[in-house]
């Protein structure tokens, strides 16, 4: 069974990280909440999170590592040298890396978005284009780049789509869960609520 780590940094978008953890655990995918520097993380909206562990070399063992966004949280991820070194090693080993909202800018700074298709929170593509000029920005809800093993998404409202895309990249069928969580209903009826 594939394993996933979701890395939480102070200032993260809580709903993005927790939505991914929730979706993956509902699908029985072993998923750890990993604090960047501490097990206790304070989210951007002052929601205190308690993680299972702290970033260490075991990050190399996961099949996929995902980052939630948030401007402060993603800056903390982007600027952490230990995390950068581990993520570069993961990328060189051909492992999946995923980031949403503002967090793809961390992957860009690490150099792992080179030549990859990706998306990011609206307006932040100018930063990723500086750090990853050979990357290919797309304006879609999620982008899964199979060749480069990069998965990205846009922001809080796309967190479930991101979670399902992660599961699907790992070969897990999400159809029944999408129905049980009313995601298919939402997808069919979203225009009516706008």
Could you tell me the residue ranges of all domains in the chain?
4-193
Predicted confidence at residue 187, as pLDDT, reads 86
Q: Domain 4-193 has what CATH class?
A: alpha beta
pLDDT tens-place string over residues 117-174: 999 999 999 999 999 999 999 999 999 999 999 999 999 999 999 999 999 999 999 9
Bigger pLDDT: 190 vs 169: 169
Q: What are phi and psi of 174, to 5 degrees?
A: -110, 0
Structure confidence at residue 63 as a pLDDT band (50, 70, 90): very high
Q: Is 142 exposed, middle or buried (0-12, 13-18, 19+ CB in 10 A)?
A: buried
pTM for the whole structure: 0.97
pLDDT tens, position by position, 72-94: 999 999 999 999 999 999 999 99
What is the number of other CB atoms lying within 10 angstroms of the CB of residue 159?
24
Residue in the structure block whose two tokens are 């700074």: 109
194 pLDDT band, cuts 50/70/90, is low
Distances (CA, A) of 93 to 12, 86, 165, 189: 27, 11, 21, 41
Strands (E), 101-184: 117-118, 136-137, 142-145, 150-153
């Amino acid at each position: 069974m594939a394993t996933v780590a979701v890395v939480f940094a102070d200032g993260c978008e809580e709903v993005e990280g927790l939505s991914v953890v929730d979706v993956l655990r509902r699908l029985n995918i072993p998923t750890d909440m990993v604090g960047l520097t501490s097990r206790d993380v304070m989210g951007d909206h002052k929601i205190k999170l308690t993680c299972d562990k702290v970033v260490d070399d075991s990050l190399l063992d996961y099949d996929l590592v995902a980052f939630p966004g948030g401007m402060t949280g993603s800056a903390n991820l982007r600027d952490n040298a230990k995390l950068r070194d581990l993520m570069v090693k993961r990328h060189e080993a051909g492992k999946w890396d995923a980031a949403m909202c503002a967090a793809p800018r961390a992957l860009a700074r690490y150099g792992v978005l080179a030549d990859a298709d990706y998306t990011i929170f609206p307006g932040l593509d100018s930063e990723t284009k500086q750090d990853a000029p050979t990357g290919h920005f797309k304006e879609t809800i999620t982008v899964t780049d199979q060749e480069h093993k990069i998965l990205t998404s846009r922001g809080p409202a796309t967190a479930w789509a991101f979670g399902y895309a992660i599961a699907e990249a790992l070969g897990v069928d999400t159809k029944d869960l999408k129905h049980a969580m009313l995601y298919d209903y939402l997808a069919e009826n979203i225009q009516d609520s706008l």
